[in-house]
Each structure stands twice: as structure tokens, then as C-alpha cells.
């Protein structure tokens, strides 16, 4: 994780928020986030803030952790390039001081660009969003690192017709192995179609997670309009998709048997709470509204790592 700088007011934003960021409230929200993550994972490495980097709290964009692989990214926004070196040094020092731990360090090289917010592992495949922040070169370098280890990497174009989507994970996140949440809006539906094409899979829709599997067919406009429905995407195994009415809530953190979601969205909470009840997971809600004003979601503020001994 990384501390929140006072310069956060100057962070990059797709659109100016209707109500400006309340910095004191942002600090309180980030402190609550940090406390909860510490409770759920036990040990947290906190990188100091850099006042010259207003977006540095969004550490996910600078570092990926996949198994024993730690990948230093190359953010697509030039203003964010200075965020990378302190994160890289922190990871290097962490493992230098613990020589018995297993880790493999990699770094994305120019001209490739890659934001961690564009990367999602669904339990079987790594989705990489092609956005203004991540290019095809970033996808290819990830392929070179991970596919020899048996992790398929697929680049998926993320379209943003409404100008509200910064990253892949602004629209989708994994709530479990082979189960993802997707925003129930035009951008989310477009992403499902793009994933269907790129992953060469078919889709079927059920409005009841316990109903028998439907015939494999394209998503219909009528089916798309029903929040909380599930879709089945069949490749070698089934990928379950649940549509979420509030885009911000399509981004959740899954930590062990815990799920963390944005507070204040009752329609989305009913759906996510139902999934947690079904799977025996504990649901936690956090108000991160001030960080959301800078296009930040829950996954943006931390990098979850499983350290192999």
C-alpha cells in the first residue's frame, strides 16, 4: 500500500467531480481502508507518499503480483512515471532482507505501457485491458513473462462510450475463481462482448444463479437490462458473470474468505451480499467516495501478494 499525499487534490481525473475532493475525509477513508486491509491480511508494507506524485496512493497501477512474479509496470500517463521507482525499491529491499523467500522480479520496458488497473486474473486467465493507459506492447510483455508459467494472457479492448471508464477494473473484478462482477451499463455490456470475441467463448444468461444452465446463446438486450443476473461463459470451464447496477461496485477486493465493497449502494450490496452468503464469505463495506472522485476504486489502493517461502 502507499500513503495518501496532500497533493491528492491535484490528482488526474477523467472529469472534474461535481463536489471537490474533501482532503480530510479522504485521509479518514484511506485510514479506514488501511486498517481493514491490515486486519484481513496481517502484514502490510506501506510505501511513503510523494507530494510530487498526486496519484501515488493508487499503487496498483505500478506493481503486479502474480504468484512468485512481481512485475514493475510502466504507467501510461507520463505524469505518473515518477511513482514507479520508490515502489520498485521497496519490493527489491523487501526481498533482499528476506533471502529465503521466492520471488521473480520483472519490469515493463518502453515503448510498452501498462497500468495495473488494467490487469485482472479470473482464476484461469489474465485479462489485460487495452485502454489509454495500457497498450499492446504491455500485453505482449506480460505474455512473455507469464505464459511460460502456464498463465494465459489475453488483451481485451476496453471501450468507453460514456467517458467514465479509466481502466479494465473500472468495469470488472474477480469475486472468486471463474466468477467476475461486471458493471451493468453500456461499457460493461461492450466489455462482455469483447471478452466473448477475444476468449473465443459463447455466453448464456440466467436470472437465477441456481437455475439449470441455459442454451448457449448471445446476450440479449432484455437479459442485459436485469441487474444481478448471471451469465455462463464456457471455454474449458465455466466463467460466471454477475452484472452489478452501480459501476463503482463492480470493483471489489477478494481477500481470503472476505470481500470488500464500496458502501452506500444498496442495490449492488444486495447482489454482492447474496453471492457472499452463497459462498460462505464475509462482506465488508467501506466508504471510499473521496478517492472515487479521482477515478479510484477499491483495488487501486493495494497490491495483494502471496509470498512463497
Query: Which CATH number does 6-301 carry?
Result: 3.75.10.10
CB contact at 8 A, 133 and 161: no
In this prediction the pTM is: 0.90
Helix, strand, or coil here: 309?
Answer: coil
For the chain, 309 residues long, give each residue's pLDDT as a single digit of tens.
999 999 999 999 999 999 999 999 999 999 999 999 999 998 999 999 999 999 999 999 999 999 899 999 999 999 999 999 999 999 999 999 998 888 999 999 999 999 999 999 999 999 999 999 999 999 999 999 999 999 999 999 999 888 889 999 999 999 999 999 999 999 999 999 999 888 765 444 333 344 333 222 223 333 333 466 655 444 455 789 999 999 999 999 999 999 999 999 999 999 999 999 999 999 999 999 999 999 999 999 999 998 765
Structure confidence at residue 221 (pLDDT)? 31
Pick from 172, 195, 189, 178: nearest CA to 250 = 172
Domain boundaries, the chain: 6-301
For residue 300, indicate whether it is catalytic. Answer: yes
CA 257/CA 279 separation, integer angstroms: 9
Phi-psi region of 67 (alpha: psi -120 to 50; beta: other; left: phi over 0): left
Phi, psi (rounded to 5 degrees) for 248: -60, -30
CB contact at 8 A, 133 and 165: no
For residue 167, indicate whether it is catalytic. Answer: yes
CA 95/CA 105 separation, integer angstroms: 10
Structure confidence at residue 217 (pLDDT)? 26
Structure confidence at residue 102 (pLDDT)? 84
Structure confidence at residue 48 (pLDDT)? 98
Catalytic residue among 53, 56, 167, 179: 167
Catalytic residue among 56, 276, 300, 301: 300
Distances from the Cα of 275 to the Cαs of 45, 46, 212, 287, in angstroms? Answer: 30, 31, 17, 20
Amino acid at each position: 500500500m502507499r500513503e495518501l499525499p496532500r497533493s491528492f487534490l491535484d490528482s488526474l481525473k477523467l472529469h472534474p467531480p461535481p463536489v471537490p475532493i474533501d482532503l480530510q475525509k479522504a485521509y479518514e477513508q484511506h485510514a479506514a481502508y488501511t486498517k481493514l486491509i491490515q486486519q484481513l491480511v496481517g502484514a502490510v508494507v506501506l510505501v511513503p507518499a510523494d507530494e510530487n506524485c498526486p496519484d501515488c496512493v493508487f499503487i496498483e497501477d505500478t506493481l503486479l503480483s502474480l504468484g512468485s512474479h512481481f512485475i514493475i509496470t510502466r504507467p501510461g500517463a507520463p505524469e505518473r512515471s515518477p511513482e514507479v521507482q520508490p515502489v520498485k525499491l521497496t519490493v527489491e529491499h523487501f526481498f533482499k532482507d528476506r533471502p529465503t523467500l521466492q520471488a521473480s522480479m520483472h519490469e515493463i520496458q518502453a515503448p510498452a505501457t501498462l497500468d495495473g488497473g488494467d490487469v485482472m486474473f479470473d482464476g484461469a486467465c489474465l485479462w489485460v485491458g487495452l485502454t489509454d493507459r495500457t497498450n499492446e506492447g504491455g500485453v505482449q510483455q506480460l505474455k512473455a513473462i507469464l505464459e511460460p508459467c502456464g498463465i494465459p494472457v489475453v488483451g481485451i479492448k476496453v471501450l468507453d462510450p460514456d467517458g467514465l471508464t479509466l481502466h479494465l477494473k473500472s468495469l470488472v473484478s474477480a469475486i472468486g475463481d471463474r466468477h467476475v462482477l461486471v458493471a451493468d451499463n453500456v461499457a460493461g455490456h461492450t466489455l462482455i462482448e469483447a471478452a466473448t470475441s477475444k476468449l473465443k467463448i459463447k455466453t448464456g444468461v440466467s436470472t437465477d444463479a441456481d437455475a439449470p444452465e441455459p442454451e448457449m446463446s448471445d446476450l440479449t438486450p432484455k437479459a442485459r437490462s436485469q441487474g444481478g443476473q448471471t451469465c455462463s461463459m464456457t471455454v474449458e470451464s465455466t466463467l460466471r458473470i454477475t452484472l452489478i447496477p452501480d459501476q463503482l461496485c463492480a470493483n471489489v477486493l477478494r481477500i481470503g474468505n472476505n470481500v470488500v465493497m464500496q458502501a452506500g449502494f444498496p442495490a449492488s450490496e444486495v447482489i454482492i451480499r447474496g453471492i457472499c452468503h452463497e459462498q460462505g464469505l464475509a462482506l465488508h463495506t467501506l466508504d471510499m467516495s473521496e478517492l472515487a472522485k479521482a477515478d479510484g476504486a477499491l483495488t487501486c489502493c493495494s497490491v495483494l501478494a502471496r509470498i512463497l517461502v
